[in-house]
Amino acid sequence: MFRRALLSTVAAAALVVGLAAAARAQQRVGTAGAVNPDVTANGRIIRLGSDVIFKETIRTSPQGSAQVIFVDKTTLNIGPNSTVVIDEFVYDPNGGTNKMAIRLTKGALRIVGGNVTHEGNATVRTPVASVGIRGGVCTIAHQANTIVYAHYGNMSISSSQGTQSLYRSGFSVTVSGGGNGSMPGIISDPARTPYPQLAALTATLTSRQGQRGGSSSPPTDPALQSSGLEQTNLSIIPSNLRSLQSQTGSETVGPRNTPTDDFKDGHGHHHHKGKGPHHHGPHGH
């Protein structure tokens, strides 16, 4: 009798663990592709290869940074002293409705677009602004104010005071946080980003000297070249950008990206179909 009761208890415990693991897998939206200590999600320590779970609050320390690779191939770099929540993630590789909503409470992040962002259904919210993203690459930072930096693609920045479009590489807009007596939500006109400002921000979104992103061995030059990350980082430095805007109209510019442009993914490839949808959000699983 005792043995039967013990076996029943063990079986019940295994079932609970199995159900918890299944629920966790169902809520998974991506994987940590790089982590520099310390990074936590709802208190658990995030390591290289850890699952990133829907609705968890990701926090980085003053020395911490992380890269999240979503199942749709969107990548999200999170800088030090940042707090980020993935509020919603819907991805159907078979052509259904896709959506992503991220909340940045403080700090900085950079998005390199995947399949979801190409449809214009990706949004990053800060305390004073909502940034809609279609394709490409952008960096968003929030401390006292929110600053949105365009590297490629189209961004629509909205606040309580209006909306501003940003589609020109190497330009940025600032949304007032209401400090120093200013009205919160005021959106500046697009302005060319000073090189030192963007270079300093970019440095915070990559591993510092001596950091390896959670890897036990440092990356080699051939591995870096084959990954394409070196070119991605180089492409967002203003001096290497092909400008699409001139405030004075004195520069020769190429065709402007419009909201109706057809985007490929962040690596120049067409979309690939997979198996089944991923849906996490207010109307998800």
> Domains (ranges, CATH) in the chain?
27-278 (2.60.120.1440)
Position 41 scores a pLDDT of 92
Which secondary structure element, helix H or strand E, spans residue 166, and what is its range?
strand 162-166
Residue 139's CB: how many other CB atoms inside 10 A?
23
How much is the pLDDT for 135? 83
Q: Name the one residue in this structure whose structure tokens are 């007032």.
A: 176
Distances (CA, A) of 140 to 106, 122, 151, 237, 279: 10, 13, 11, 15, 25
Give the dihedral sign, CA 242/261/202/197.
positive
Beta strands, E only, 54-160? 57-60, 65-70, 75-78, 83-91, 99-112, 122-125, 130-142, 146-159
Task: State the Cα–Cα distance between residues 4 and 7, nearest whole angstrom.
Answer: 5
Report the alpha-carbon distance of residue 234 to residue 5 in Å, rounded: 63
pLDDT of res. 278: 54
187 DSSP 8-state letter: B
Q: Residue 3's pLDDT is what?
A: 53
| Tokens 């399949």, residue located | 115
**pTM metric for this prediction:** 0.70
| pLDDT on residue 284 | 47
Mean pLDDT, 10 residues at a time, the chain of 285 residues: 49 39 62 91 92 94 94 95 95 87 97 89 96 93 96 95 95 92 92 94 79 48 47 44 34 34 40 48 49
**Placement of tokens 């995030």 in the chain:** 46
pLDDT tens, 203-231?
A: 999 876 554 444 544 544 554 454 444 44
**CA quadruple 251, 254, 256, 257: dihedral sign:** negative
Q: Among 267, 263, 232, 280, which residue's Cα sits nearest to residue 102?
A: 280
pLDDT at 279: 55
Look up residue 214 and give its amino acid.
G
The tokens for 68 are 């999240």
State the Rg of the chain over Cα. Answer: 21
CA distance 249 to 114: 32
Q: Is 271 exposed, middle or buried (0-12, 13-18, 19+ CB in 10 A)?
A: middle
Query: Tell me: the pLDDT tens digits for 94-131?
Result: 878 899 999 999 999 999 999 998 888 899 999 999 99
Q: Tokens 């950008």 sit at which residue?
A: 241
| pLDDT at residue 277, rounded to an integer | 54
Q: Are 115 and 141 in contact (CB under 8 A)?
A: no
Phi first, then psi: what are they for 179, rounded to 5°?
Answer: -80, 165
